[in-house]
Structure 1
Amino acid sequence: MKYSDILRKSIIESDLSLAQITRRLEKKGVNIDKSYLSKLQNGKINPAGERINDAISEVLGIDKLELKVAAYREKIPKDVLEKLIL
């Protein structure tokens, strides 16, 4: 599953607004705005870094490793990813 799909599904299931999520992230020391979160869930920008993903995972109850793997899969160049799979 793609990073944005995992994120979007988790946001919907959380019943939290993007503003509520960003406020919870702020309490964990991660300051992002709801437009950034929206772009992440819609796949309009590359997946977030580890620190942000860890905080998002905690707030939304996502398995941290699942979100990290999805993020790395999209960040790693295709030829490198193919070599890793072999």
Structure 2
Amino acid sequence: MRYQIMLKDGLEKKGYTLNKAAQLVYERFGMHITSTYISKLRSGSKPPATDDLNEAIAKILEIDSIEFRRAAYIEKIPNDLLEGIAIAQ
């Protein structure tokens, strides 16, 4: 599943606004992020976040952190390299 879809679905299932998600990440993990940043992650206009932040987001949304981080890595891999990996498998 794509990173953006996992983020969007997680927010919807928890019923969190972007502000609420940013607040929870700060309260539970001490990471300062804005609702605008989460919105950009969700829309795909920013590349996926760092491992630490993805772990925090996964925990507040109660989604599988390994799957979420894997989706983030797949989004970050250049297409030509991703195709090469798929062929090698």
Structure 2: 5+ residue runs without aligned partners? none
Give the Cα separation in 1 of the matches to 2:65 and 2:85. 21
Long gaps (5+) in structure 1: none
Q: Which amino acid aligns with 1:30?
A: M
Q: Does 1:55 align with 2:56?
A: yes
Correspondences of 1:6-85 after superposition (within 5 Å)? 6-27=6-27, 28-85=29-86
The normalised TM-score by structure 2 is 0.90
TM-score, normalised via structure 1 length: 0.93
Instruction: Between 51-60 and 71-80, report the one with greater CA deviation.
Output: 71-80
What SS does the aligned partner of 1:8 have? helix
Query: In structure 2, how many angstroms separate the alpha carbons of the residues matched to 1:82 and 1:18?
Result: 34
Matched length:
86
Share of identical aligned residues, percent?
A: 35
Cα-Cα RMSD: 1.0
What SS does structure 2 have at the residue aligned with 1:30?
Answer: coil
